[in-house]
Amino acid sequence: MVMTGKNKNRSNYYVAYGARLECDLDLSRYLMVGKTTRHPVRIAEQLSEIPQQYSEHTSIRYKGHGREMALFSDTEPAALNTGHNWCFEVKDVVRFFWVKSAHNVAFERGKLCTEELLAFWLIHIFLPIYFTLEGCYEFIHASAVEVEGAAILFTGPSHGGKSTMMDFFLKQGHTMVSDDKVATFVESGRFFALPSHPNHRPYRKFEDLGSRVLDFSPDPRPLRAFYAIRAVSPADDVTIEEITGHEKFAQILPGYLFDFPLMKEKRLRYLAGMVSAVPVFRVGVPWDLERLGEVYGAIAGHLNSNWVS
């Protein structure tokens, strides 16, 4: 087995969502090795400075990937103060503990935990939740690729063709940014997308990170445009139209991940700024895999037009 929690004498450094992870686990099967200085976090099974007892005073419970999940805090989380305690639990698999702004995460394996499950829940689910609650990034449910140094995001409903579209772009030589959860941030008035992790899953399977992608870089990309996928009849034309006004906001809002009530006001302000700065387009995609090349050509041509600078 590649990953183990037995080695307590060596720390490994990885990059995920543009952040630096220091971890006793061997995650080289899933993540790039690196030492970026952005948002450092230490992950270990035993960190004495992190308390192991959490109250269920406040909790959010939900289901996903065939598992029951819960997010606990030790007090009312509205203030999100430094020193605030959190616990994210995947029932019978793993629990993650951290103290806000302490940059340390401890985890505890459950009775059903395997090395593969631990990697999936840590990388694909927990880290986006952690970086959101720590105020590092805002996440969009989208697939994203790099085109001429910038990121374009494909949005749409579940099973709506986002991963399929990205997969086609990858096969044309584009660099992957993210297959499912896109970390975004704003700096000096510009919005950026950060690559997540170098794994791609163009199929449906619970608790699976997917296959390793070689054409992947952890560097942030300026966010160039949203393309909202809309399935049309296989015989229809490929169409691209700009979305304007309040409809831009309504188009992206359903894909905004982690709708924590305590962060609602901040979330809405951020999203309003994003859709004001980044153009949003609706793409009519004929529901026929044989026509993906035509869709790709239309989007590539559109990016090179005057509509997107």
Examine residue 12 and state whether it is found in any structural domain, yes or no.
Answer: no
Q: 242 with 200: CB under 8 angstroms?
A: no
Run of H or E including 271: helix 264-277
Tally of domains in the chain: 2
Examine residue 17 and state whether it is found in any structural domain, yes or no.
Answer: no
pLDDT value at position 10?
65
Same domain for 211 and 277, yes or no, is: yes
Same domain for 79 and 95, yes or no, is: yes
Q: State the pTM of this model.
A: 0.90
pLDDT value at position 5?
43
Distant-in-sequence contacts of 86-93, Cβ < 8 A, 24+ apart: 86/54, 86/133, 87/54, 88/126, 88/129, 88/130, 90/121, 90/125, 91/67, 93/67, 93/117, 93/118, 93/121
CATH number of the CATH domain containing 178: 3.40.50.300
Same domain for 144 and 252, yes or no, is: yes
Same domain for 239 and 258, yes or no, is: yes
Q: 10 Å Cβ neighbour count for 272?
A: 14
Same domain for 84 and 96, yes or no, is: yes
Opening angle at CA 17, ends 276 and 183, nearest 5 = 20
Same domain for 214 and 248, yes or no, is: yes
Examine residue 9 and state whether it is found in any structural domain, yes or no.
Answer: no
Examine residue 234 and state whether it is found in any structural domain, yes or no.
Answer: yes
Same domain for 202 and 274, yes or no, is: yes
**Per-run averaged pLDDT (10 residues), the chain, 309 residues:** 44 91 92 86 75 58 87 67 81 92 92 96 95 93 93 87 91 93 94 95 84 90 95 95 92 81 84 93 95 96 73
Tracing tokens 């929690």 back to the chain, one arrives at: 5
Same domain for 106 and 247, yes or no, is: no
pLDDT value at position 307?
52
Examine residue 26 and state whether it is found in any structural domain, yes or no.
Answer: no
Single out the residue in 114, 136, 158 at which a domain terminates. 136
Same domain for 111 and 189, yes or no, is: no
Examine residue 230 and state whether it is found in any structural domain, yes or no.
Answer: yes
pLDDT value at position 2?
36
Structural domain range at position 236: 139-303
Examine residue 16 and state whether it is found in any structural domain, yes or no.
Answer: no
Same domain for 70 and 96, yes or no, is: yes
Same domain for 181 and 295, yes or no, is: yes
pLDDT value at position 77?
54
Single out the residue in 136, 156, 172 at which a domain terminates. 136
pLDDT value at position 1?
29
pLDDT value at position 253?
85
Can you tell me the distance from the alpha carbon of 293 to that of 283, in angstroms, rounded to the nearest whole number? 14
Single out the residue in 136, 162, 190 at which a domain terminates. 136
Same domain for 165 and 289, yes or no, is: yes
Examine residue 106 and state whether it is found in any structural domain, yes or no.
Answer: yes
